[in-house]
Amino acid sequence: MKYILLLTGTKAEFDWYTKWSKEDLQAQGAFMQAFHEELKDSGVLVAAEGLAFPDQARVVRAGRDGEPIVTKGVIRGVKDGAPFVTDGVFPESKEFLAGYTIIDVESAEQAYKIAARMSAAPGPGGIPGNMPIEVRQVMSGAPEELP
Amino acid sequence: MDVSIERLLRELTPQALGTVVRRFRDFAAAEDAVQEAALAAAMQWPREGIPDNPRAWLTQVAFRRMADHIRSESARRRRESEVALEAAYTSELTTIETAPQEDDTLVLLFMCCHPALTPASAIALTLRAVGGLTTAEIAHAFLVPEATMAQRISRAKQSIKNSGIPFQPPTTEERAQRLRAVLHVLYLIFNEGYTSSAGPDLRRGDLSHEAMRLTRILRNLRPDDTEVAGLLALMLLTDARRLARTSAEGELIPLAKQDRALWDKRQIAEGVALISATLPKGSVGPYQLQAAIAAVHDEAARAEDTDWPQILALYDLLRRMSDNPMVRLNHAIAAAMVHGAAKGLELLDALSADARLADHYRLDAVRAHLLELAGDRESAIRSYRAAAGKTGNLPERNYLLAQAARLSSELRLMNEQE
């Protein structure tokens, strides 16, 4: 069964992250690299990517003739073929995806264990960050088997 | 490559592997050596013709690769014992008996499906070592990157090495348990292919055919085992419905609505003959019972002709044999078909307490179906939607949502008419 582990954060959390010390950033980077290397070696890694910061996030909708209408912020709807934006920028509470890891494991429990290790990636001062990791099953053709 | 050569190689590779592992006792190295030998055969045979004894040819080449491997290993380590070992192997090479022992493929299966391995490892290793599939093919079938599958296979080999599992037939006491593990792995491979063959990616369906091919090999090796026969019959009788199981759009079609003209008559005849010949032998197990149930379904010309009392009786037996919640769910459906939806719903309520099922979509899906049979559309819609929210299977979710939508429009129509 495949699961996706989603690491998300608000704009404020991304801003806080940019203020970490060089050592703390390096420690976290090294942890994530070693962690994913281990997932690969144990034959469970399907894919993993980190995403660019939310400053670059754009929302795209198709215009009247299918042309891309690119905005920064939350689009509330489309009127006369043009989107209208109420917030102008993304709301503070919006969660952005920072990165994802897809694994292929035997059970949900095994996915939770791996997510917990990712959650414990070191934060500032090397203290485990205890980041929330959203775990979702990836839809498949095959149903799970019961014991 | 020539199809006949490819088929021949896939048949002979596990046999050669069994012989090499028996002789050298190093599974990982033997697997590499046999793969190299098979590669050499794939290049040479189309050009020079298939040798008189292709199995001996493969085994000889693999033996030579093993000797090379040991030579380079021992040169690297420069250990006296290794050199002595090398001398022992090379001197024997010309005289060594390359004829397979009858049970080599079976012992190989026992090794790859060892209970010490996780199911995922056992499946990958069996497909590679016994099925002769390439790592790329296995990775493709399970939709994971090739590098991940390569790691999984190499770790499985490592676990076999570390656990000291010997390459030898299990003892008489162990045999039944180990054979069960083999059957379970073959069943999982079949299921993986069967349940996911909906949609455009038909290659995953090849896994079912590979599982059937391996089960046939196992049946040739153990013709008297009733559960091996039962599993093969179950696969034949289930796979016979493959074409009717999904629409052209990949939509799931339940058994009752399938176009039975699309069922594979030849495969049904073979499965029915096999299970009919096996059941009277007396040693009845879960695979035989499931095959018997599949046979009852397959023999009904129309859904309404299904002999539900017989299916219920078979599920009763099966339920006593194994504490599998899926069996109890199916038993509840059969009970509903015989004694009415209310009886089935009553059994489901008792099942809801089972922690293994409590959060499982199939409990809601079955409840929805029985509620619909009972005429309670509104509750059925709720249960179909609850089931759709819990399943991790895309065709299944689409099917469940479509059922809810169908009932909703029926309700709307009824309200409009009032």
- The 3-class secondary structure across chain B, one letter per residue, is CCHHHHHHHHHHHHHHHHHHHHHHCCHHHHHHHHHHHHHHHHHHHHHHCCCCCHHHHHHHHHHHHHHHHHHHHHHHHCCHHHHHHHHHHHHHCCCCCCCCCCCHHHHHHHHHCCCCCCHHHHHHHHHHHHCCCCHHHHHHHCCCCHHHHHHHHHHHHHHHHHHCCCCCCCCHHHHHHHHHHHHHHHHHHHHHHHHCCCCCCHHHHHHHHHHHHHHHHHHHHCCCCHHHHHHHHHHHHHHCCHHHHECCCCCECCHHHCCHHHCCHHHHHHHHHHHHHHHHHCCCCHHHHHHHHHHHHHHCCCHHHCCHHHHHHHHHHHHHHCCCHHHHHHHHHHHHHHHCHHHHHHHHHHHCCCHHHHCCHHHHHHHHHHHHHCCCHHHHHHHHHHHHHHCCEHHHHHHHHHHHHHHHHHHHHHHHHC
A134 touches chain B (CB under 8 A): no
Task: Label residue A113 exposed, middle or buried (CB < 10 Å: 0-12, 13-18, 19+).
Answer: exposed
pLDDT-derived band at B10 (thresholds 50, 70, 90) equals confident
**Residue A45 bridge partners (DSSP):** A103
- Among A86-95, B93-102, B117-126, B351-360, the range scoring the smallest mean pLDDT is B93-102
Provide the pLDDT for residue B79: 57
Give the pLDDT of residue B229. 97
Q: What is the dihedral of CA B272, B277, B279, B280, to 10 degrees?
A: 140
Q: What's the pLDDT score for residue B186?
A: 95
pLDDT digits (tens, 9 = 90+) for B70-105: 888 777 776 556 555 555 555 444 444 555 565 788
Residue A6 distance to chain B (closest CA, Å): 17
pLDDT of residue B101: 61
Q: Chain A contact for B325, CB < 8 A?
A: yes
Model pTM? 0.84
pLDDT over threshold 80, residue B195: no
Residue A49 and residue A100 in contact, taking contact as beta carbons nearer than 8 Å = yes
Residue A83 pLDDT:
62
Average pLDDT estimate for B346-354: 91
Query: From the CA of B395, how many Å to the nearest CA of chain A?
Result: 7
For chain B, give the mean pLDDT: 87
Min Cα separation B205/chain A (Å): 11
| Domains of chain A and CATH, by start | 2-56+92-137 (3.30.70.1060)
Lowest mean pLDDT among A7-16, A40-49, B156-165, B215-224: B156-165
pLDDT-based confidence at residue A88 (cuts at 50, 70, 90): low
Chain A residues close to B154, C-beta within 8 Å: 43
Which of A61-75, B9-23, B177-191, B245-259 shows the lowest mean pLDDT across its residues? A61-75
Between the ranges A74-83, B71-80, B115-124, where is the mean pLDDT highest? B115-124
Residue A2: other Cβ atoms inside 10 A: 20
B204 to chain A: which residues are within 8 Å by CB?
A: 141
Domain boundaries of chain B, sorted by first residue? 3-92, 102-222, 359-418
Q: Can you give the pLDDT at residue B199? A: 41
**Which carries the bigger pLDDT value, residue B130 or residue B76?**
B130
Put simply, the chain B residues between 181 and 210 with a CB less than 8 A from any chain A CB are: 188, 191-192, 195-199, 201, 204
Residue of higher predicted confidence among B253 and B275? B275
Cβ-defined contact of B393 to A140 (cutoff 8 Å): yes
**pLDDT band with cut points at 50, 70 and 90 for residue B201:** very low
- As to burial, measured by CB atoms within 10 angstroms (0-12 exposed, 13-18 middle, 19+ buried), residue B62 is buried
Reported confidence tier of residue B200, pLDDT bands at 50, 70, 90? very low
Please indicate whether, in this complex, the C-beta atoms of B201 and A141 are within 8 angstroms of each other: yes
- Where is pLDDT greater, at A128 or B73? A128
Q: How far apart are CA B304 and CA B325, in angstroms?
A: 26
Distance in angstroms (rounded) separating the CA atoms of residues B55 and B300:
45
Q: How far is B189 from chain A (nearest CA, A)?
A: 11
How far A136 CA sits from the closest chain B CA (Å)?
A: 10
Nearest to A140 among B188, B191, B196 (CB): B196
Tokens 């819609």 belong to residue = B381
A with B: how many residue pairs have Cβ under 8 Å apart? Answer: 76
Distance CA B141, CA B205 (A): 8
Question: Are the Cβ atoms of A106 and B120 closer than 8 angstroms?
Answer: yes
Whether B391 and A142 lie within 8 Å, measured CB to CB: no
pLDDT attached to residue B84: 55
Chain B 82-121, CB below 8 Å of chain A: which residues?
Answer: 118-121
Q: Which of A46, A141, A145 sits opposite B148 (nearest CB)?
A: A46
Tens digit of each residue's pLDDT (9 = 90 or more) over B293-305: 999 999 999 999 9
What's phi and psi for B385, nearest 5 deg? -70, -40
Q: Is the pLDDT of residue A20 over 70?
A: yes
Q: What is the dihedral of CA B266, B271, B272, B275, to 10 degrees?
A: 160
For chain A, report the end-to-end CA distance as a whole number of angstroms.
Answer: 14
Whether the predicted pLDDT of A89 surpasses 80: no
A144 lies within 8 A of chain B by CB: yes
- Nearest of B231, B346, B365 to residue B288 by alpha carbon: B231
> What integer best gives the mean pLDDT of chain A?
86
Higher pLDDT, B164 or B300: B300
CB neighbourhood size of B317 (10 A): 14
Question: Which chain A residue shows the shortest CA-CA distance from B150?
Answer: A43
What is the percent of chain B with per-residue pLDDT over 90, rounded to a whole number? 54
What is the reported pLDDT for B87?
54
Contact present, B143 and A31 (Cβ < 8 Å): no
> Is B365 within 8 Å of B371 (Cβ atoms)?
no
Kindly tell me if the per-residue pLDDT of B156 is higher than 60: yes
User: What's the confidence (pLDDT) of residue A72?
Assistant: 80
Whether residue B392 lies within 8 A of chain A, CB to CB, comes out as yes
Lowest-confidence segment of B90-94, B102-106, B307-311, B343-347 by average pLDDT: B90-94
Contact B392 A147 (CB under 8 A): no
User: Closest-CA residue in chain B for A36?
Assistant: B148
In the prediction, which pLDDT does B153 show?
A: 92
Top mean-pLDDT range of B12-16, B82-86, B238-242, B310-314: B310-314
pLDDT exceeds 90 at position B306: yes
pLDDT for B371 beyond 70: yes
Which residues is A70 bridged to in the sheet? A60
Residue A8: how many CB atoms within 10 A of its CB?
16
A104, A143, A146 ranked by CB distance to B393: nearest: A143
Does pLDDT of B33 surpass 80? Answer: yes
Q: Is the pLDDT of residue B139 over 80?
A: yes
Q: Given A40, A140, A142, which is nearest B148 (Cβ)?
A: A40
Average pLDDT (A20-48) is: 94
Reported as a single tens digit per residue, the pLDDT across B40-72 is: 999 999 999 999 999 999 999 999 999 888 888
Give chain B positions within 8 Å (CB) of A145: 188, 191
Residue B142 near chain A (CB below 8 Å)? yes
Residue B344 has pLDDT above 70, yes or no: yes
What pLDDT, on the 0 to 100 scale, is given for residue B198? Answer: 42
A85 has a pLDDT exceeding 80: no
Asked if pLDDT for residue B278 goes beyond 80, the answer is: yes
For residue B21 the two structure tokens come to 């592992």
Name the residue among A106, A141, A142 with its Cβ closest to that of B118.
Answer: A106
Q: What's the longest Cα–Cα distance across chain B?
A: 95
A104 touches chain B (CB under 8 A): yes
Higher pLDDT, B258 or B115: B258
The whole-angstrom separation of Cα A42 and Cα B151 is 6
Name chain B contacts of A139, Cβ cutoff 8 Å: 392-394, 397
> What is residue B99's predicted lDDT score, i.e. its pLDDT?
56
| pLDDT reading at A11 higher than 50 | yes
Closest CA to B258 of B301, B320, B291, B317: B301
Q: How far is CA B370 from CA B332, B343, B364, B383, in A?
A: 9, 10, 10, 10
pLDDT tens readout for residues B383-418? 999 999 988 888 888 899 999 999 999 999 988 887
- Stronger pLDDT, B374 or B79, i.e. the higher one: B374
